[in-house]
């Protein structure tokens, strides 16, 4: 396979080689340090003014002589080069600018490896090659595949830390290869990586969000108990508030990226296609749990829960290393099996797996979801009190989880036959409260909650009169429910 060669003949780096370390941040002596600080001032001034032609010489000097002086040299470089490359009319100079941009990612990894990882830099090198040199290999399928492998290497290096834009370009290139070679494995494998790593990205950000929310809650508690004043509260809240906003943005961007990929992969990833692809691979990858995980997540996302290949992969995954994901899907598999053959043992198995999924959950979103499905399993079994407990556990993790309130309402509605206290439909009054609560806390499920509420039947005025009740008065629903409500 032909190699994508980045020709580095930029005079800036005369006989360039990557430095092993940075013994001096600004320079070896006072004169060098003063020169460095002068060029830093020039770069900042001209870059902010978008005078990139003047900013570039200062950038060249700093990268050559003081590459570790400031990480902003590199965070600002992409935008500077994009503008310079776009404006450059001379093709030879344009190519040299592209070379320098690509080379700058090697330099930044050497200078600030904790901020600019190898995977990050490899990904943006591939991104820029695709952006600026795609015409040179558009008809050469080997070069396209070489670039695709560059994206794959970047993703496997950075894993859950891969940037959304890199995922986007990687998947686009994988789709191009699928169309060119008529081989769906390219997009399926890209989708498998995305569902695996992006789920981790989302969960990590959610976990960080939860931690910062706890910090904010503790600070609020200090304020409400008069242990800190308003000014100090505002000061202390700045960082965790900024962190929660940043993590929310990460979650949003990762979810948008994953949703886009899931939409694009749909024509290629029917259950029949996934089953055929993974049935051939499963035996050879059964000892590679990471690869098996990708099969499980991909097929689960594709809705292929009844596939024997999914079941086989899931069993390999769960037996090797039980996780929240494997326990959750084992529970879902048992629920689906029960729906098919009405085997009561499957309900008990589902409950056990889902309880395990709750224990292994790493953030509140996972806890809310696992507890909610556990509640549905208990409800299916007829264990209403346990179902309500699980639903409230979901609400503890996410107080705005409207579906959990709907489920509790459904439990109360279904209890009429076992709980009537001589008042027809009295359990429906308690159910109505939960449906109304669901609509109030979660507008996204308001229509569903209102539809459930519309199915409720209430006693007639005559029935209320005969029992000495009037609409609007307080009433206590007994049995297992034990809630105060309002007569309707």
pLDDT class of 384 with cuts at 50, 70, 90: very high
Indicate if 152 and 64 belong to the same structural domain.
Answer: no
Q: Does residue 404 contact residue 414 with C-beta atoms inside 8 Å? A: no
Instruction: Provide the pLDDT for residue 297.
Output: 83
Q: Give the span between the Cα atoms of 173 and 149, in whole angstroms.
A: 10
Closest CA to 403 of 361, 443, 358: 443
Indicate if 219 and 151 belong to the same structural domain.
Answer: yes
Q: Could you identify the residue written with the tokens 């009037």?
A: 470
pLDDT class of 4 with cuts at 50, 70, 90: very low
Tokens of 36: 């460095």
Indicate if 143 and 242 belong to the same structural domain.
Answer: yes
pLDDT higher than 50, residue 5: no
Instruction: Round the average pLDDT of the chain to a whole number and report it.
Output: 89
Question: Is residue 148 a part of any domain in this protein?
Answer: yes
DSSP letters for 67-88: TTS-THHHHTHHHHHHHHHHH-
DSSP letters for 421-456: -SSTTHHHHHHHHHHHHHHHH-GGGHHHHHHHHHT-
Residues forming beta bridges with residue 485, ordered by sequence position: 475
| Least confident stretch, 72-76, 147-151, 295-299, 345-349 | 295-299
Instruction: Provide the pLDDT for residue 138.
Output: 67
Q: Give the span between the Cα atoms of 174 and 348, in whole angstroms.
A: 42
- The CA–CA distances, whole Å, from 11 to 79, 85, 100, 161 equal 21, 17, 10, 34
- Phi, psi of 476, deg, nearest 5: -105, 120
pLDDT higher than 50, residue 10: no
Q: Give the span between the Cα atoms of 273 and 244, in whole angstroms.
A: 40
Instruction: Provide the pLDDT for residue 146.
Output: 92
Instruction: Give 199 or 50, the one with higher predicted confidence.
Output: 50
Closest CA to 145 of 178, 101, 115, 191: 178
Indicate if 178 and 63 belong to the same structural domain.
Answer: no
Tokens of 321: 């290393």
Instruction: Give 90 or 420, the one with higher predicted confidence.
Output: 90
Three-state DSSP state, 130: helix
Instruction: Give 273 or 49, the one with higher predicted confidence.
Output: 49
pLDDT class of 266 with cuts at 50, 70, 90: confident
| Least confident stretch, 25-34, 191-200, 300-309, 437-446 | 25-34
Closest CA to 189 of 171, 162, 203: 171
Q: Give the span between the Cα atoms of 428 and 433, in whole angstroms.
A: 9
Q: Does residue 105 contact residue 125 with C-beta atoms inside 8 Å? A: yes
Instruction: Provide the pLDDT for residue 20.
Output: 47
Question: Is residue 364 a part of any domain in this protein?
Answer: no
pLDDT class of 15 with cuts at 50, 70, 90: very low
Report strand pairing: 474-477 vs 483-486. Answer: antiparallel
Instruction: Provide the pLDDT for residue 165.
Output: 93
Q: Give the span between the Cα atoms of 152 and 171, in whole angstroms.
A: 10
Chain centroid to CA 144: how far? Answer: 28
Question: Is residue 184 a part of any domain in this protein?
Answer: yes
Q: Could you identify the residue written with the tokens 């900013």?
A: 55
Give the residue-averaged pLDDT of 326-342: 90
Structural domains counted in the chain: 3
Question: Is residue 198 a part of any domain in this protein?
Answer: yes
- The CA–CA distances, whole Å, from 200 to 213, 363, 394 equal 20, 11, 21
Question: Is residue 399 a part of any domain in this protein?
Answer: no
Instruction: Give 153 or 276, the one with higher predicted confidence.
Output: 153
* Residue at which a domain ends, from 217, 241, 265: 265
DSSP 8-state assignment for residue 50: T
User: What residue spans of 308-425 are helical by DSSP H?
Assistant: 308-320, 324-341, 344-360, 364-381, 384-397, 402-414, 416-419
| Least confident stretch, 72-86, 106-120, 390-404, 465-479 | 465-479
Q: Give the span between the Cα atoms of 63 and 57, in whole angstroms.
A: 10
Question: Is residue 449 a part of any domain in this protein?
Answer: yes
pLDDT class of 421 with cuts at 50, 70, 90: low
Q: Could you identify the residue written with the tokens 């979801």?
A: 369
Question: Is residue 359 a part of any domain in this protein?
Answer: no
Indicate if 100 and 144 belong to the same structural domain.
Answer: no
Indicate if 4 and 32 belong to the same structural domain.
Answer: yes
Q: Vertex 9, ends 5 and 14: CA angle to 5°?
A: 135
Indicate if 191 and 256 belong to the same structural domain.
Answer: yes
Q: Give the span between the Cα atoms of 147 and 134, in whole angstroms.
A: 10
Residue-wise pLDDT tens digits, 54-113:
999 999 999 998 899 999 999 999 999 999 999 999 999 999 999 999 999 999 999 999
Q: Give the span between the Cα atoms of 256 and 251, in whole angstroms.
A: 8
pLDDT class of 8 with cuts at 50, 70, 90: very low
**What domain range includes position 151?**
136-265
Half-sphere exposure of 317 (CA within 13 A, CB side): 23
Indicate if 445 and 473 belong to the same structural domain.
Answer: yes
Indicate if 143 and 223 belong to the same structural domain.
Answer: yes
Indicate if 57 and 170 belong to the same structural domain.
Answer: no
pLDDT class of 9 with cuts at 50, 70, 90: very low
Give the residue-averaged pLDDT of 348-356: 96
* Residue at which a domain ends, from 224, 240, 265: 265
Q: Give the span between the Cα atoms of 486 and 471, in whole angstroms.
A: 8
Tokens of 346: 């499957």
Closest CA to 123 of 78, 57, 180, 184: 78
pLDDT class of 420 with cuts at 50, 70, 90: low
Question: Is residue 406 a part of any domain in this protein?
Answer: no
Instruction: Provide the pLDDT for residue 95.
Output: 94
Q: Does residue 25 contact residue 69 with C-beta atoms inside 8 Å? A: yes
Indicate if 63 and 173 belong to the same structural domain.
Answer: no
Residue-wise pLDDT tens digits, 120-157:
999 999 999 999 988 876 678 888 999 999 999 999 99
Closest CA to 424 of 484, 488, 473: 488
Share of the chain above pLDDT 90, in %: 63
Q: Vertex 54, ends 51 and 55: CA angle to 5°?
A: 80
* Residue at which a domain ends, from 249, 265, 281: 265
pLDDT higher than 60, residue 7: no
Which residues, at least 6 apart from 35, have a Cβ–Cβ distance to it below 8 Å?
27, 61, 65
pLDDT higher than 60, residue 21: no
Indicate if 219 and 105 belong to the same structural domain.
Answer: no
Tokens of 54: 């003047």
pLDDT class of 294 with cuts at 50, 70, 90: confident
* Cα dihedral 23→24→25→29 (10° resolution): 180
pLDDT higher than 70, residue 231: yes
């Amino acid at each position: 396979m032909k190699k994508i060669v980045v020709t580095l003949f930029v005079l800036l780096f005369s006989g360039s080689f990557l430095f092993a370390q940075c013994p001096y941040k600004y320079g070896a002596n006072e004169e060098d340090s003063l020169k460095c600080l002068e060029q830093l001032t020039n770069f900042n001034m001209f870059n902010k003014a978008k005078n990139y032609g003047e900013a570039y010489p200062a950038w060249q000097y700093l990268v050559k002589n003081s590459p570790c002086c400031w990480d902003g040299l590199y965070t600002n470089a992409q935008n500077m080069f994009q503008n310079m490359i776009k404006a450059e009319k001379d093709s030879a100079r344009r190519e040299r600018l592209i070379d320098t941009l690509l080379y700058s990612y090697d330099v930044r990894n050497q200078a600030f490896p904790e901020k600019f990882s190898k995977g990050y830099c490899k990904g943006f090198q591939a991104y820029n090659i695709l952006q600026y040199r795609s015409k040179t290999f558009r008809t050469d399928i080997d070069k396209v595949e070489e670039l695709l492998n560059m994206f794959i290497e970047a993703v496997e290096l950075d894993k859950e830390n891969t940037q959304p834009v890199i995922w986007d370009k990687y998947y686009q290139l994988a789709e191009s290869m699928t169309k060119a070679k008529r081989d769906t494995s390219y997009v399926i494998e890209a989708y498998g990586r995305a569902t695996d790593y992006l789920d981790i990205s989302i969960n990590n950000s959610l976990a960080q969000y939860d931690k910062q929310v706890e910090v904010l809650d503790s600070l609020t508690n200090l304020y409400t108990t008069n242990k800190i004043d308003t000014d100090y509260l505002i000061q202390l809240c700045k960082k965790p508030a900024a962190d929660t906003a940043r993590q929310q943005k990460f979650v949003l961007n990762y979810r948008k990226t994953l949703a886009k990929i899931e939409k694009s992969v749909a024509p290629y990833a029917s259950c029949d296609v996934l089953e055929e692809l993974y049935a051939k691979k499963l035996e050879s990858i059964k000892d590679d749990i990471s690869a098996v995980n990708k099969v499980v997540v991909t097929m689960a996302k594709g809705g292929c829960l009844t596939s024997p290949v999914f079941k086989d992969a899931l069993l390999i995954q769960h037996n090797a290393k039980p996780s929240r994901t494997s326990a959750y899907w084992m529970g879902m598999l048992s629920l689906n099996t029960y729906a098919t053959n009405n085997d009561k043992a499957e309900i008990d198995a589902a409950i056990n797996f889902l309880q395990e999924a709750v224990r292994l959950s790493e953030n509140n979103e996972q806890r809310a979801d696992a507890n909610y499905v556990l509640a549905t399993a208990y409800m299916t079994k007829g264990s209403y009190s346990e179902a309500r407990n699980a639903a409230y556990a979901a609400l503890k993790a996410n107080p705005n989880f409207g579906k959990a309130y709907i489920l509790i309402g459904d439990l109360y509605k279904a209890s009429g036959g076992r709980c009537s206290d001589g008042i027809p439909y009295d359990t429906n009054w308690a159910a109505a409260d939960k449906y109304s609560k669901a609509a109030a806390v979660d507008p996204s499920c308001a229509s569903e909650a209102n539809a459930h509420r519309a199915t409720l039947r209430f006693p007639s005025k005559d029935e209320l009169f005969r029992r000495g009740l009037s609409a609007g008065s307080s009433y206590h629903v007994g049995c297992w429910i034990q809630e105060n409500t309002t007569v309707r």
